[in-house]
Amino acid sequence: MKNNVSIKTIADKLQISMSTVSRALHGNTRIGLKTREKVNELAKELHYVPNPGNVYLQGKQTYEIGIIVPALKEEFFVKIIDVLENELRPLGYHLHIFQSQENEDCQIRALDYFKKMRVDGILCSLASNTKRYDKFLEVEEFGIPIVFFDRTPRGISSFSVKSNTEGGALKVMEFLKNKGINKVALINGPANLDTSGDRLNGYLMGVEKFRMESSPSLIKSVALTPESVLEVVKEFVSAKCLPEAVFTFNDYIALYLMKAMKNLGLEPNKDMLIASYGNLPFISHLENPPIVSVEQFPERLGLSALEMLLKRIDSEEPMKPHFKMIDTELVIYPRG
């Protein structure tokens, strides 16, 4: 005979809500231990077997969360995923990871996949070539909440968490000025990224506030590849306009810059000082690391985004778009 025991059966017998039963069966620690034990004991006694199809058809929680990141080769995003998995596991959630590889089409495929899976919510850090947001709006209208982190949309209201990138860039410029440096170049990320815009704003604020030298020839946007950084350094050398220091989009660009300088016979942090963004663990192992890097606290960023998403998932009423800023601080690397 077919087993007709459902979540409703258990809920009626224990006189609790179906949502409480569902959360208890998934091991969600937001439900008290005694309630979880009672639910699981009764489910075992009644030989309850979950039906995934019913979850989708009835629009109930799947306890699945999707996350879209540009690339897992970036340690910044790996640190975020680590802390999210540790936080979600006791709550009974599974985290599904999708890399956009900095490609908007891959990002759209990820959204379609998560929609088909009926995930409870999505966390997203935008691909560098993102130009359209219609798919995100479509997924939201379907009933799946989205929270953006680090790389967030421009020009649309959204639930977003990001670092104080502009403030971090300004701190770098102040640090360099205090070292007596006046001519600073910026090797920035793709112009359409909001994080690139924030770095540029902080850089320009520093130029104006501290009366530093700048010109369009000192501000470069690159494709986040070693080849694009090498071309920029070649431009500096051919124009005979080497800056005193270079502020890079992130630690990886700083690493590409060091390699490019060596290829062209220049010595990093001697012919040009290097300041970077991210303070990722690998730079502390470099023989000649950037003189300063901006700590973004990826764990705090990820947890704040997750907290915002879980509130949206648990809320029975629509919430107004919300933005949260995580502060940054400078980490100075002493010279040997």
In contact, 32 and 89? CB cutoff 8 Å: no
Phi-psi region of 143 (alpha: psi -120 to 50; beta: other; left: phi over 0): left
For position 62, what pLDDT does the model report? 84
Residue 263 token pair: 């290829």
Q: Indicate the class that CATH gives domain 7-58.
A: mainly alpha
In the chain, CATH 1.10.260.40 covers: 7-58
Fold of 165-295: Rossmann fold (3.40.50)
Q: How far apart are CA 336 and CA 102, in angstroms?
A: 37
Name the CATH code of domain 64-162+298-325 (choices 3.40.50.2300, 3.40.50.1000, 3.40.50.1820, 3.40.50.720).
3.40.50.2300
DSSP string, 116-162: HHT-SEEEE---TT----HHHHHHHHHT--EEEESS--SSS---EEE
Phi, psi of 24 (to 5 degrees): -65, -40
For position 4, what pLDDT does the model report? 66
CA nearest 99: which of 126, 72, 65, 139? 72
For position 58, what pLDDT does the model report? 47
For position 3, what pLDDT does the model report? 54
Residues 59-107 pLDDT 10s: 467 889 999 999 998 889 999 999 999 999 988 899 999 999 999 999 9
**Residues of the chain predicted below pLDDT 70:** 1-4, 50-60, 335-336
Torsion of CA 283, 247, 75, 64, to 10 degrees: 160
Residues 210-250 pLDDT 10s: 999 888 899 999 988 999 999 999 998 888 778 999 999 99
pTM: 0.77
Q: How far apart are CA 22 and CA 179, in angstroms?
A: 59
In the chain, CATH 3.40.50.2300 covers: 64-162+298-325, 165-295
In contact, 69 and 107? CB cutoff 8 Å: no
For position 80, what pLDDT does the model report? 95
